[in-house]
Amino acid sequence: MKILALNCGSSSAKYQLYDWQKKQVLCKGIVEKVVVDHGKGAFIKHEVPDRPVYKQDYPCPSHKDALKLIFDTLVDPKLGVLQSIQEISAIGHRVVHGGSKFARSVSITSEVLAKLKENIALAPLHNPANIEGILAAQELMPNLPQIGVFDTAFHQTMPPHAYLYAGPYEWYEKYEVRRYGFHGTSHLYVSKRAAVLLNKPYAECNIITMHIGNGVSHTAIKNGISVDTSMGLTPLEGAIMGTRSGDLDPAIIPFICQRENKTPAEVENLLNKSGGLKGITGKYTDRRDIERAAKEGDARCQLAIEMEAYRLKKYIGAYMAVLGRVDALVFTAGAGENSPLLREKACEDLEFLGIRLDKQVNSTARGKETLISTPDSRVKVFVIPTNEELVFIEDVVAILENRYDMHTRFTYSFQSKDYKP
């Protein structure tokens, strides 16, 4: 059985084709610069294990063009990995915002699509592109099962005292204003891997997961379920991110609107696209650039590192308090997996909470599963590379085989002897 995982963003379409029986990635890739400027600058990057990476410009004015390009590439006699597109059994689509309507992955029907459209108001930056991708895939492959996998679903277990905001309660009743949380498939994957590394049943594990990529979110997982997470109604809340501000006083928005004669939507856009590390440094979103410039003496880059690490540390402290007993602290995603500096600073002086980093091991741990705490650290600290696509694929197979269960999500692969993270 071959499953395609698709992740359509506003200007990109990421894909991964997986052979379920062989537990093998057949190929993966991305079409970038879709839609923007009528897709004139679009290109595909296609990777097949043991072959050179293929990169080719190809105009893609719409997501449908991008998907067609992907399907053509999959069956191309030279570049492809399939004889026929009919070999694909189903497509798993990443959908960012499921609202409170979707606590699990689902087969996409016309009712599901209608509900997804209702959720556009909650995620105007993400859901429209996800829906475009689904519609295009349905048009190009009308007989194929299409499954929606939601970023928010994993966090639907949060209790009301964690997901409600202390605004007027009517906002929740009328508009479902509440914390939803995102990156759910990543938090699920790395926490389940942590349980394996701890050699402890998942349902007995208390874990703090820190997903630190361009987007950043943290989750407190108690006895195997999400009980709190840092992103909110939208992915703007919480940690300092590449271009998003994370937590700030909401009164700043009208204050800036007045001073700069801007609308709330314009300020929200600035907080999404020109805040975070980009806002602090004035130029960089990538921690590699920031760490290099900080070493060379750039004061704003030094400040950005201090600010980001300080906010990480606050969330670790908060979630330690939420969980009481913590088995593991997990760093994942681009910077979580690859920035020893950020990890060291986030964990600095937390020995009193039972977190003791092995600085030597941490300094070289990059991109692979590694225990980076000392043997006497009460809380085990891990670097665990995330694999959201594998969760999409598992969910699709579980739904096709009619055995989807939110408590056993992502258990099949790593229970297989062949599973190599």
Minimum CB–partner distance for residue 215 and ligand ADP (Å): 5
Residue 392, classed as helix, strand or coil, is helix
User: Can you tell me the distance from the alpha carbon of 236 to that of 53, in angstroms, rounded to the nearest whole number?
Assistant: 34
Q: Which two tokens stand for residue 150?
A: 């939601």
Which one of the spans 21-29, 207-215, 248-256, 258-266 is the region binding ligand ADP (CB under 6 A)?
207-215
Residues 6+ apart with CB under 8 A from 210: 216, 218, 312, 315, 316, 329, 330, 331, 332, 336, 346
Indicate which residue of 37, 65, 151, 298 is catalytic.
151
Of the two residues 185 and 285, which places its CB atom closer to ligand ADP in the complex?
Answer: 285
Q: Is 151 a catalytic residue?
A: yes
Which one of the spans 96-104, 208-216, 228-236, 317-325 is the region binding ligand ADP (CB under 6 A)?
208-216
Report which residue's Cβ sits closest to ligand ADP.
334
95 CB-contact burial (10 Å; exposed 0-12 / middle 13-18 / buried 19+): buried
Using CB under 6 A, which of 214, 269, 272, 302 touches ligand ADP?
A: 214
Going by C-alpha positions, the residue among 226, 214, 119 that lies closest to residue 181 is 226
Which residues, numbered 279-338, are part of the site for ligand ADP (CB under 6 A)? 285-288, 333-335, 338
Minimum CB–partner distance for residue 183 and ligand ADP (Å): 9
Minimum CB–partner distance for residue 333 and ligand ADP (Å): 4
Minimum CB–partner distance for residue 213 and ligand ADP (Å): 2
Intra-chain end-to-end CA distance of the chain, in Å:
20
344 lies in the binding site for ligand ADP (CB under 6 A): no
Minimum CB–partner distance for residue 287 and ligand ADP (Å): 4
Count of residues making up the chain: 421
Residues 6+ apart with CB under 8 A from 235: 96, 126, 182, 215, 217, 244
268 lies in the binding site for ligand ADP (CB under 6 A): no
CA dist list (Å): 282 to 234, 248, 301, 314: 24, 18, 9, 24
Instruction: Confirm if 229 and 219 have CB atoms less than 8 A apart.
Output: yes
Of the two residues 339 and 377, which places its CB atom closer to ligand ADP in the complex?
Answer: 339
Active site residues: 151
Residues that bind ligand ADP (CB under 6 A): 213-215, 242, 285-288, 333-335, 338-339
